[in-house]
Structures are given as C-alpha cells and as structure tokens.
Chain A
C-alpha cells in the first residue's frame, strides 16, 4: 500500500519564457527538468540534500543580484528563470575551466561534453596553474581514494555522515584551495571509523572514489564500460532485500552499485552487498 501524501499546491514558473507548473517546494532544477531542459550538474546528488558547491548548474533568476544554483534554490510562483542566458553560460564556462584546470576530470561523466558545449578552455590558465594533484590513496582492498579527481562536492561526507550512514569517518579538512576530504589526522582508512559500506563510492560524481577493481583495471587499461553489462538482483545476505546492480565485464563482477530509485535503500548498501561478491 502506498501511503497518501498530503496534497501539494502547484505553482507556475517561467523557464526560458516557457510556462511550467511544478509542485510547491520543487527546486528550479526540478522545474527545468519538467520543461525538458538539460542543466549540467556535478555536486548535485539525486539521493542527497543538494550542497550547491560546484556552481555548474547556475541559472539567471530575473531580479536577482547573483546567479542561483538550480539544484537547491526553490522555485517560487512567478519566478522567471533563464537557463541559457549569456551570463549563466559564461559562468558555467568559467567554472568548468576552473575545475578542469585544477582537477583531473578524465573519469567524470559528461565533463568532456560540457567542456565542449560551453567552449571551456582549462588550459588557458597556463602550465603553472595550481592543481590538487596528489598520489592516489590505496590503503585497503575495497576502494581507492584518488583525490586528484576530487572536486570537493561534499557528497561522500554527507553520505558517510548524517544523511545516510552515520559513520562520520571522513570530513572536509583544511581551508580554501587546500581543503581536502580527510579522516582525523589523515589517518589511513583502515584506522578510521570507516565501515566500507561504499556509499561514498556510490555518490562520487568524478571517480575520485572507485572500487579497487575499477582502479586496477583502469591502470592496466582493461576497464571498458562498453563491454560491461548491468544486472539488477536482490542481495542474498540478509532479509532486507536490497537491490544490487552487478556490473559485469568478461563474465566477472567488476563493481556493484544499487538503484537510486529503490524506496528502501535509495542506492545505499552495506559492506556485504557492496563488496562481498567473491562467492558468486
């Protein structure tokens, strides 16, 4: 039985001159999706409270002094939003350049596509531009932290902390450009509170967190998503019945994810479901 939700009022907003009707409480991004617009997002997570830190989804709201992050700003009745204005496009371009020049976006889905679409040229800051380049942290057999690829979207921290797992093994440490995701006193993960649920890997938008299998196969050059198939099944460990999506390449499981639209787990798993597939 599906419990009835209280009725929600509908409000009218204008997206690029087009009238859209969305339930009260929707974000501008929801309204954009309803209007069929494709807005780039990086730090936005469909299972997490938006952090609006990356600023690639900024749109122009009529009458506002600054641009608004579409992912978290609530749509208001009568709001007039421009998603493709000169000012919004220019900001997205520069933000993509700032990211592309400081972070390795090679494993970020759609980054290359957006860089081309917005005409971003990360190389124009020169060869000496500061980056977050650093060696990958490989301190356990389950997943790897490659912070050269980290855009500091806070999703892993939120998933590990109060939004899902309540483990709080990692947090943002330091300040400004030197801010990083870290355990206490940069201790190895194996010494930390980490329970290896892998929910941080699930939400990472750039591949900074990845399965050890994926990391190793990429290093060998054998990772090939076009040869992978995905099968969603039910975890066999306990009675909760979490959905698992097995990513299989050459008849071997290479990683496990979980459907975000599952009403119970919302993409989250425990260490057994996520990493305990060796018996298959």
Chain B
C-alpha cells in the first residue's frame, strides 16, 4: 500500500500517549527518528490495524481530541493509510477531530431520561455552557436509566477521569470532578453503589443477581467464597462437548435481543475446522433503556470472566475479546481489575487451573456507536475498521473476527452459563432466570430478575408504578409499545403480542409524557446511530424523522402512508437489525396508541 503523509507532526503529549500504548517506535520505519541503520534495511510493514481503536482512545483520553499530527503518528506506528484512519476516527461519536476542552459533559437526552425530565437538565446545561457541541453534548442513552435523568462527564488527562451525575439536577456541578490522584481508582466519582440499581439485592432465590451488592466485586477471594469458579471446575469434568450438551439441553437463547439458541451457536463454532476460533463478548450495551449488562459487569465482574473462560473452553477459543461500550467507565475499570487479578492467579492465561486450557481476554472499549453492538459490526470495530455491519451469510460461526470462526455472546447470555453448569441443564430450565431493566414512571426502577413466565403486570407489581400508566415500551427503541399488562414475559409470549423482549427493556410511560416528542427522540436516535452503509437505513431514518416532525405539527394521511412505506422498506431491505427495527416503536405507537389520530 502507498502510505503518504502530509507532514503534520504530533505534539509531545500526543506522541507520549501513543507510545504508552504501543511502546516506543523501533525505527524510522514505524514513526521513530531516522538513524543510519534505518537506511540500510527494508522493514516489511506489518499493519497492526486492530490497534487503531485503542490508539485513537489513547490520544483522545489524554488530550481530549485527535489532531492531524496525532492521527499521522498513529498511522505511521500501525501502518494504516491516513484516509482510512480518518474514516474510522470520524465514525465514533466520543472522538473529536477538532480542538475541544479536556472536560466534556454528556447529557443523556434519550428515552428513560426524557421520561424523567431530562429536558430540564439539558436546558439548564445549555443556559450555563452555551449551545451543545464542544464542552457538552447531547448523548444517546448512557445506561443509567434507573437514576434518570443522567449525565456523564469525561475528562481527558493522565489518567482520564469520569464523573457520573445521576440523577442529574440543578445542583449539577460543572467544575473539576475528582481530587487529583495519580492511580486510577476502581470507582467513578459520583456513582451510586451498584446495589442501588438492584432493588432485589440480597434477596434469596436470585440466580444472576445473587452476588450483586452482596459480594465485593473487586475481590477474587470473595467471588470464590460465594461460589465462583465452581462452574468452570464442573466444565472441566464435563469436557468441551459435555458443556455444549448442557447448554443445548438448557434451551438457553441469546439475551442480546435476537434470541438465537446459544448451544447451537457454540456447537457450530466448535465444529469449524478453520482455526483459530475467537470468542467475543458483546458488552456494547447501547439500546436505550438497557443497563442490565452494566449492573452485572459492575457488580459481579468475575462471573463474566469465568463465563467467558467456560465458553472459550467449550468452543476452542484461545483468545476472547470483551467489547465494552465507551460510556461505561466503572464497568470498564472493574473488568480491567478482574481480568488482571484472574490472570495473576492463574485463572486466565496458560494452563488455567492446571487443566491445560489456554485462554486470555482482551478488553476493547467502544467509542460511542450503537451499531457496534451488532454482531458483525463489532468485528469490524475490533479489527480497526469502521463499525459497519457485514452482510450475512457468511455467519460469524463460519467467518467472524479476522475472518475466523467466532462465537459472539451478550453479557447476560454468558453469565447464564454459570447456573446451567452449577445446577445442571434440567434444573436450570425449570426456573430459567431473565433480567429486566425497568425505568420510567415506576417507584423502584432498576434491574429485576424474574423467572420466565411472569407477566408484565407481575413485574410492575414488584416495581410499583407512579402516575397513570399509559403504555410500556418493551425492548427499547427497537422494540414496541404495549398496553396489555398481561403479556407473559417470554420470547414467545411477547412475539404473540406483536412485541419483543429484545434486550429486556421495560420503560413505563405515564400520561405526563409527550408521546410525539418521545417518538421524535426515537427517530432522532436511529438517524444519529445509522452507520450510513445502506440506503434504506441511511436515508430512510432521515425521512422518518422528517415525517414525524411534520406530523407532530399537523396530522396528514400522506405522511402516515409515507412513514409506513419507508418503514416497511427499512424493515425489508436494510442490511442489519438497526435499519430493520427502526420503525417498530413508531409503528406500534401509531397503531396501538393512536398517537397521530
């Protein structure tokens, strides 16, 4: 490849940020100073493109934005053409290619926050800081819905800092967040204890949430004392094929939204003759209204590490990537700590527990792109490409990350494997747990664990509702509004009701919420988050938003027809699930709630 640079030089700080990640450059061939010796050897340029996203993070984290000099230097170090790297950097919303202050406030304006007065917070911030764009941004769902309205401040530096404001209110301080410290702390300033997000914390009979709030998430010993790593030992007894058999028998299906049988995915990957196999844990939880994976990762991080180890053992993966969304600083810190201690104690790396299993986990941070939660977009993102979905077939089990057979599982799905092995498939299936993220007009918002079969009404009895419930948004922005509270919360039950469990979102809307505004926010969300690859989604989401703007001013049959036609085409002809579901919630609001009648 021709690599041509425009001669922009990085600052010392930018260079140091990249070198801290990649080590010092070896020679002039990869961005170092030119010496006599360099002129006498030709070094083959090996692209390290998969380090592009971490390198961009390194600069953005330390300096706050990415200059042309910094991008040039990253490209020299990794042998990536600058135009391509620019295309990648501009894809992610957490990166800035223009100078901006080190401290940037992200104010959530998404569904759960909007239902809880997020608009007031947004207005206050605007009054104090001016129009959005530099020192503050309007943000898609921050995953703090149980404490809505929420805001998150990210501050560049060494180390970078984060501060959570949830619930954010008038007293939201906009100054420097934390006392200066040189060691990264495990917790994020201002964040409430994880147990606050789990109203059931400490109750008997919990499966997936049993350790959240009761076991120290930073202590491997506490985790083991609370039953940790018995599932992995059981897995070693069963052997890889035995583990897959148990998972198949348990009937576990994916909890990320698509509900594909996990055992079949594992089995198909394990059988692939092509090697290596990869494991990807999809922790890019960005569906508006969803925060269950965050709560698990913050409250029980070793469970995820153990579950990934079991998945890798069963499917023959030596390497796993944990792709976590960039807006989750505390979960990232907790997992970094968990992975490091597990590695130090021989629970990751070579010869795990003396059983000859080699497996390690690399943590990858996303940078603000909902689409990267799509199972193939995640591969492109890890590989250092734009996070655009790939067309299927071929499916990931055949050609996934780096073109190799890959298992992709959501956090909640993986964590379910622990009770399957601890209790046996049959006992697990008899009381299969499911997490729900309840927010909006409820008394006790948070993550709830129920066994399959409970109805929406039973769940809302637990959480309590405030005001007069008008509708419930099931499954998030990609889901649908329902009014029938007797829907059984199972994959089949919700499907029969023309809805979906999706990622477990239960957003309760009372009659104070302006539905037209809420629909506009949904349309705006999909327009913002469309990757832009295919026409139905790239243009369709814009046309949907335009039509909703017109409709919220004046109802017209033409616009309703137009919405339906564009919506159906997005559903039929888009490459991936984002475009295919971008019309679901709007359609259900029109048909079931009669919003534009």
Contacts and interface: CB of A to CB of B under 8 A. Distances in A.
Contact of B534 (A55, A94, A167, A171): A55
A74 B83 CA distance: 32
A176 B534 contact: no
Contact of A168 (B84, B90, B539, B573): B84
Interface residues of A, number: 55
Contacts of B65: none
Interface in B506-544: 527-536, 538-543
A175 B370 CA distance: 12
Interface size class of B (residues with CB under 8 A): 35 or more
Given A53-B533, A125-B546, A173 B87 contact: yes
A148 interface: no
Interface string A176-187: 111100111101
Contacts of B541: 176-177
Contacts of B558: 124
A179 B565 contact: no
A26 interface: no
B2 A193 contact: yes
A12 B35 CA distance: 63
Contacts of B535: 53-56, 95, 98-99, 151
B236 interface: no
B83 A175 contact: no
Contacts of B83: 168-171, 173, 182-184, 192-193
A179 B538 contact: yes
B2 A129 contact: no
Contacts of A176: 527-532, 538, 541
B356 to A, nearest CB: 39
Nearest to B97: A185
A78 interface: no
A179 to B, nearest CB: 4
B78 to A, nearest CB: 13
A193 B532 contact: no
B538 A52 contact: no
Contact of B562 (A55, A124, A151): A124
B532 A177 contact: yes
B76 interface: no
B442 interface: no
Nearest to B8: A185
Interface in A89-134: 90-91, 94-95, 98-99, 101-102, 124-126, 128-130
Contacts of A154: 533
B532 A129 contact: no
A166 B542 CA distance: 34
A119 B2 CA distance: 46
Nearest to A195: B2
Given A167-B1, A168-B1, A182 B87 contact: yes
Interface string A14-27: 00000000000000
18 contacts: A53-B533, A55-B574, A55-B575, A94-B566, A125-B543, A125-B546, A168-B1, A168-B2, A170-B83, A171-B84, A171-B87, A175-B91, A175-B531, A176-B529, A176-B538, A179-B538, A193-B2, A193-B82
Interface of B: 1-4, 6, 68, 71, 81-87, 90-91, 93, 97, 369, 386, 391, 393, 527-536, 538-543, 546, 550, 558, 562, 565-566, 568-569, 571-575, 580
Given A66-B573, A67-B572, A171-B84, 4 more contacts: A94-B565, A174-B91, A192-B6, A192-B83
The 5 closest A-B pairs by CB, nearest first: A168-B81, A171-B87, A179-B532, A193-B4, A184-B82
